[in-house]
Amino acid sequence: MDLFVEKGFAATRSEEVAARAGVSKGTLFLYFPSKEELFKAVVMENVARPVAEGIAEAEHFAGSSGELLTWMMLEWWRRYGATKASGISKLMMSEAGNFPELAEFFRNNVIQPAQALVRFVLQRGIDRGEFRAIDVNNTIYSVMAPLIFLVMEKHSTGPCNAAKPSINAEQFITHHADLLVRGMVAGH
Amino acid sequence: MDLFVEKGFAATRSEEVAARAGVSKGTLFLYFPSKEELFKAVVMENVARPVAEGIAEAEHFAGSSGELLTWMMLEWWRRYGATKASGISKLMMSEAGNFPELAEFFRNNVIQPAQALVRFVLQRGIDRGEFRAIDVNNTIYSVMAPLIFLVMEKHSTGPCNAAKPSINAEQFITHHADLLVRGMVAGH
Amino acid sequence: MDLFVEKGFAATRSEEVAARAGVSKGTLFLYFPSKEELFKAVVMENVARPVAEGIAEAEHFAGSSGELLTWMMLEWWRRYGATKASGISKLMMSEAGNFPELAEFFRNNVIQPAQALVRFVLQRGIDRGEFRAIDVNNTIYSVMAPLIFLVMEKHSTGPCNAAKPSINAEQFITHHADLLVRGMVAGH
Amino acid sequence: MDLFVEKGFAATRSEEVAARAGVSKGTLFLYFPSKEELFKAVVMENVARPVAEGIAEAEHFAGSSGELLTWMMLEWWRRYGATKASGISKLMMSEAGNFPELAEFFRNNVIQPAQALVRFVLQRGIDRGEFRAIDVNNTIYSVMAPLIFLVMEKHSTGPCNAAKPSINAEQFITHHADLLVRGMVAGH
DNA sequence: CATGAATGAGTGTTCATTCAT
DNA sequence: CATGAATGAACACTCATTCAT
């Protein structure tokens, strides 16, 4: 996974994968009939774990829905976005066109549960009178877009780039969530 | 551009570019000293140019800053995001790590001008008393993230996917802009 | 080696080297990371090695320094100059300007050891009172020039040239060495 | 000629030749049917002039034959060896194998007259009792070899090589001539 | 079950040569 | 006469894949 995340599918050489796995190149092809199958296996293995955990916790959150939204976005970043694992998401967006099966799997097992969670939070706010009767479907994207954006940004520039005045992710998420909540609050 | 968008930078073969241009491989290198320079020319023509034009227009916008922001985001989508050219942006996010020089070129010629424009609009709103004294730097990302998100979404699934219940981009942009503007307005 | 000698460094195609070695092009690059490294290996094997051997023997020579000089020059010719391997020396003089790195490699691994050996012999003659206090640096060239000359002559005309009334190399070397020794002997 | 001398036949690009000649690449091929023919013309044009002049002067030399030999070698170096024109000689040795016609032309029009001149000088020394009854044929090579050697050395390393502790040509020639004359003088 | 030596199709790039204008 | 735009065959080097051991 590390190598695919670092370099993408095409630029990752089987030889290096084998080396990092501590086996010979031949052995790799003994277990995976092709580089494509290896890639699929890598993605399948490394996806969908943390999402489920997050959902369970969110359902028992005690505070206001605005606080919940902010907490959830920050938590997602801390547990997933900021880790190497989020490279899988970047990978998926980059390579989805070449691996339709993977894309569909990813959509079903990662994106949709995540969207459902966001929907749950937004609906909770509306139901409790904290938010206006906003357009939930579109707001889901307003919540997810900056997270995806951060992930792409994090993984698009390699280990290079000393001059990177990079984004402060948590600060940005807090700021964005604040904007959203202000835009959603009831009474305006 | 078509080929780069379809296949990415690395996977696009010079020979095929030449063929589609109706010339021989040698001729290509007569006009562009390398594949990288060819790509830069593609970026300049199809990405940097429309961005520059949009900037010029935005500077003479007459209405409120909230309207300007909404108009700008929608216009960006109509003129660039919705076209095949936006595939270049997806490609850059996908391959930046492997081609640092291209990444820098893109940053300088596309991303930075775009950020400057957004900054200009936000500052305009603050200066005219339409917006609160928001954190401009982070808000720039709040504006750009959904646009990037839409571009990634549009190009991440190839020509496939009939079942795509895809996002209605213009509606989402309008919605997101509305949320942002509501979140930024002065007096709350 | 045969191919490099026949065609020169630049004109020798890796594919043909591989073919003559009875392997595929890929295999060649499995063993030598580049054409330059392949060439260096050829030099080490066919040029630097015999030179080194000759040096070892010369150091244990028993006779007079004049005899040693003559023996050394003749031996150099028999073991190296007269063989196909000496084509490498011709090649290096011809292409050194276009391949500075190879030139330096050759200088370090072949020319300098050879010069050191000649210097050793001349100094031996002076130290033992057999030669005058000649200018050693220039005399080194007086010793080497005719050998280089013979090598160039041998390889400058291809396999052609029936009418070649060519030089009798051993006779010339003997003659030249005799002239040099007469010119160097002490007491005049 | 400059370009061929600097880079050799293969490494000289027609485009650059045309540029330096101040014409277009097409024009070049209007006058010379191929790069090979161009090369032949270059060599033919630039050879054989100075040799003839030198011969005439040598025949009227007044001093001893040893002095004549030294003077002749130095003069050859000053008028030809040290100039860019000597690159032609290097070129011929390097490329003779690929251009047999040129090689023969060069042999007939340059080398043989030069050898004849050296022979004349040596014979003069013998006839006047200044030199022993040496082997004239081989001694001719003993005279020419260092000159050829110097020319090769001068042109084998391009404009590179700051660390070149290069040979002092005139000093070496003087030294070598001295050794030869000492080795040839009558009475030993 | 694992290896690693071997492969060969494929890639960006160069350059002598052509030819319509 | 001269041009310069166009060509396409070459070439060094890469890497996923195979297979005898």
Q: Is D16 on the interface with C (CB under 8 A)?
A: no
Which residues are within 8 A (CB) of C71 and not within 5 positions of it... i.e. 6 or more apart?
Answer: C61, C63
What pLDDT, on a 0 to 100 scale, did the predictor assign at position B139? 97
* Cα separation, B180 vs D182, whole angstroms: 100
Residue B46 tokens, joined: 């199809």
Encode pLDDT of C47-63 as tens digits.
988 888 888 888 889 99
Q: Which nucleotides of E are covered by protein (CB under 7 A)?
A: 1-20
B20, exposed or middle or buried, with CB in 10 Å at 0-12, 13-18, 19+?
exposed
Question: Phi, psi at residue D131, to the nearest 5°?
Answer: -110, 155
Helix, strand, coil: what percent of chain B each, to 5?
A: 75, 0, 25
Radius of gyration of chain B (CA): 18
Question: Tell me, what amino acid is at C118?
Answer: V
Closest CA-bearing residue to C1' of F10: C13
What is the rounded CA–CA span in Å between residue D70 and residue D175? 9
* Residue C20 near residue C6, CB atoms below 8 Å: no
What is the model's pLDDT at position A45?
Answer: 83
The 3-state DSSP class for residue D141 equals helix
The answer, yes or no, to whether residue B161 has pLDDT greater than 60, is no
Residues of chain A (27-66) having a beta carbon less than 7 angstroms from strand F: 28-30, 33-36
Residue C88 parent element (H or E):
helix C87-95
Count of residues making up chain B: 188
Model pLDDT for residues C123-175, shown as the tens digit of each residue: 999 999 999 999 999 999 999 999 999 999 999 875 555 556 679 999 999 99
Cα D122 to Cα D186: distance, rounded to the nearest angstrom = 12
Q: At what angle do helices C136-156 and C169-184 cross, to 10 degrees?
A: 170
Q: Which one of C152, C154, C184 makes the best mutation probe of the D interface by having the most chain D beta carbons within 10 Å?
A: C152
Q: What are the helix and strand counts (H, E) for chain A?
A: 11, 0
* DSSP letter, residue B47: I
Tell me the CA–C1' distance in angstroms for B51 and E21: 40
Query: Residue D152, Cα to own-chain centre: how many angstroms?
Result: 9
Task: Write the pLDDT tens digit of every residue in A27-84.
Answer: 999 999 999 999 989 888 887 666 777 777 888 889 999 999 999 999 999 989 999 8
Proximity of residue B6 CB to strand E below 7 A: no
Confidence tier at B165 by pLDDT (50, 70, 90): low
Q: Distance from residue A78 (CA) to nucleotide F14 (C1'), in Å?
A: 39
Spell out, as residue ranges, where chain D has pLDDT lower than 50: none
Q: Are B40 and B26 in contact (CB under 8 A)?
A: no
Distance CA C36, CA C42 (A): 10
The chain D residue lying nearest C11, using CA atoms, is D10
**Closest CB from D150, D155, D180 relative to C183:** D180
Nearest beta carbon to residue D141 from set C96, C146, C155: C146
Q: Straight-line distance from CA C33 to C1' E2, in Å? A: 26
- pLDDT band, residue A143 (cuts 50/70/90): very high
Residue of A132, A142, A154 to mutate, testing the B interface (most B Cβ within 10 Å of its Cβ): A142
pLDDT for B95-136, tens place per residue?
999 999 999 999 999 999 999 999 999 999 999 999 999 999
Q: If you search the block for the tokens 């699929």, which residue do you land on?
A: A40
CA distance B179 to chain A (A): 5
The mean pLDDT value of chain A amounts to 89
B150-169 burial by CB neighbour count: b if 16+ within 10 A, else e?
Answer: bbbbbbbbeeebeeeeebeb
Q: Which residue, D55, D39, D92, D77, is CA-closest to D154?
A: D77
Contact between the CB of A25 and strand E at under 7 Å: yes
Tell me, what's the pLDDT at B24?
Answer: 92
Instruction: State the pLDDT confidence band at B93, using cuts at 50, 70 and 90.
Output: very high
- Please name which of D113, D93, D118, D112 lies closest in space to residue D103, comparing C-alpha atoms: D93
In Å, the largest CA–CA distance within chain C is 64
Report CA(C92)–C1'(E19) in Å, whole number.
Answer: 40
Stronger pLDDT, C165 or A176, i.e. the higher one? A176
Q: Do B156 and A100 touch (CB under 8 A)?
A: no
Nearest nt to the A26 alpha carbon by C1': E3
Q: Tokens 């100039």 correspond to what residue?
A: D83
Q: Give the single-character DSSP code of D97.
A: G
Calculate what percentage of chain A has a pLDDT beyond 90: 62
Q: Given CB atoms, is B157 within the 8 Å cutoff of chain A?
A: yes
B95: closest chain A residue by CA: A156
Chain D residue whose CA is closest to C175: D138
Q: List, in order, residues 6 or more apart from A70 with CB less than 8 Å away.
A: A173, A174, A177, A178, A181
User: Which of C90, C149, C182 is opposite residue D145, by nearest beta carbon?
Assistant: C149
DSSP A52-87: HHHHHHHHT--S-HHHHHHHHHHHHIIIIITSGGGH
What residues 116-135 of chain D have any CB closer than 8 A to a CB of chain C? 134-135
Q: How far is C143 from chain D (nearest CA, A)?
A: 9
In this prediction, residue B9 has a pLDDT band, given cuts at 50, 70 and 90, of: very high
Task: Tell me the average pLDDT across B139-164.
Answer: 84
Tens of pLDDT, residue by residue over B32-74, are 999 999 999 999 999 988 888 888 888 889 999 999 999 999 9
Query: What is the pLDDT at residue C56?
Result: 87
Q: Which of A135, A141, A153 to mutate to test the interface with B (most CBs of B within 10 A)?
A: A141
**What pLDDT score was predicted for residue B159?**
57
Q: Say if residue A162 is exposed, middle or buried (CB neighbours under 10 Å; 0-12, 13-18, 19+).
A: exposed
Question: What average pLDDT does the segment C75-84 reach?
Answer: 94
- Closest-CA distance of chain A to residue B129, Å: 17
Q: Which long-range contacts (C-beta less than 8 Å, at least 24 apart) are formed by C14-22?
A: C14/C38
Can you tell me the mean pLDDT for C64-74?
Answer: 96
Nearest CA to D174 among C140, C180, C138? C138
Contact A89, A96 (CB under 8 A): no
